[in-house]
Amino acid sequence: MDFLTVLQILDSSVRLATPLLLACLAGLYSERAGIFDIGLEGKMLAAAFFSAAIAYTSGNVWVGLVAGISTSLVLAGIHGMASITFRGNQLISGVAINFLAAGMTVVIAQTWFQQGGRTPALMGDARFQEITLPGAESTIRGIQSQGPLGQIYSELISGHSILVYVALAIVPLTWWVLFRTRFGLRLRAVGENPAAVDTAGVSVVRARYVAVMLCGVLCGIAGAYLATALSAGFVKDMSAGRGFIALAALIFAKWRPWYALMACLLFGLFDAVGNRFQNIQVGEFVVPVQFMQALPYILVVVVLAGLVGKAIPPRAGGEPYVKER
């Protein structure tokens, strides 16, 4: 395996890790405030459909992005109302959102486009295009003629859509917000001891709603990335369990932004390797394609079972807050 092939695998890892990273950071905000969100998968899926559908209809990918975020915010609001206002079971609310999104997207897509539950292919301004950074080569031949540093810059750093760079920028921003601002301190306190925060005069309900809405925004961007950047349109169940892998990455990262980045890149690498190396022959035995496709999910289980260690969630996570009178 030559150096350029390794860079191509790492480049694919970054692309595949981006929706995981956005969803993982979404869950980070929500769970740090004490609201467990199993519905990351559903919000991503709904955002993917509406972003692709509106981008195709309007011919403008930015309008599609707004539509995807708006859809995710609506579902986040439903989850917030069920789990915060009505103090319902947070896990059941999240599962309900997943079922709702899985059925709703296919039915609306079939009614709207009559293409078997998918949207037409996105082209031109209806997709996020790759950005070639200054001084970077955009052709394989041009990249091959460069030295190692030039290849890293042109193949790995350059050539991504704007949402990839946005996702990477959100990681330090999230760290700063959570650990260097008053808002972040209150958000983390709400997830650990909401009664103490309430006694200090901070609204627990407001803080949790803000966290849930931030989760909705990031899930909306993740879904839009899936349909308008990583792919060229929406297909049925295109989130393919990424919301659940993001939850696994969040546990692996122990609810910390920088660890979340590393965990998502690791899972993205598993996915890239599974996609790249198929029909591998070991002696006379050929590794089935299905095994390579399932490899990322198998490795997620292995990592969680053997490498995470003790991961302690926020103490008030999953528990509705009832204000004492």
What SS3 state is found at 285? Answer: strand
Give the domain range for residue 69: 3-306
Distance of CA 40 to the CA centre of its chain: 8
- Residue whose pair of structure tokens reads 């369990």 in the numeric block: 241
Q: Is residue 313 part of a domain?
A: no
What SS3 state is found at 281? Answer: strand
- Give the per-residue pLDDT at 280: 67
Question: How many structural domains compose the chain?
Answer: 1
- Give the per-residue pLDDT at 308: 63
Backbone angles phi, psi at 282, to 5 degrees: -115, 100
Q: Is residue 232 part of a domain?
A: yes
Six-digit token string for 197: 């925060």
CA distances from 155 to 13, 14, 233, 295 (A): 12, 11, 24, 25
Q: Is residue 190 part of a domain?
A: yes
Q: Is residue 164 part of a domain?
A: yes
- 202 C-beta neighbours (distance < 10 Å), count: 17
Backbone angles phi, psi at 159, to 5 degrees: 90, 15
- Give the per-residue pLDDT at 1: 63
Residue 233 and residue 28: Cα distance in Å, rounded?
A: 28
Q: Is residue 321 part of a domain?
A: no
- Give the per-residue pLDDT at 282: 62
Q: Is residue 324 part of a domain?
A: no
Please check whether residue 193 is in contact with residue 207, taking contact to mean a CB–CB distance below 8 angstroms. no
Please check whether residue 270 is in contact with residue 296, taking contact to mean a CB–CB distance below 8 angstroms. yes
CATH number of the domain that 57 lies in?
A: 1.10.3470
pLDDT tens, per residue, the chain with 325 residues: 678 888 889 999 999 999 999 999 999 999 999 999 999 999 999 999 999 999 999 999 999 999 999 999 999 999 999 999 999 899 999 999 999 999 999 999 999 998 888 999 999 999 999 998 888 887 777 778 888 888 889 888 998 999 999 999 999 999 999 999 999 999 999 999 998 888 888 899 999 999 999 999 999 999 999 999 999 999 999 998 899 999 988 988 889 999 999 989 988 988 888 777 776 666 667 777 777 777 777 777 777 666 666 777 888 888 887 776 5
Residue 124 and residue 206: Cα distance in Å, rounded?
A: 41
Backbone angles phi, psi at 286, to 5 degrees: -100, 120
Q: Is residue 73 part of a domain?
A: yes
Q: Is residue 125 part of a domain?
A: yes
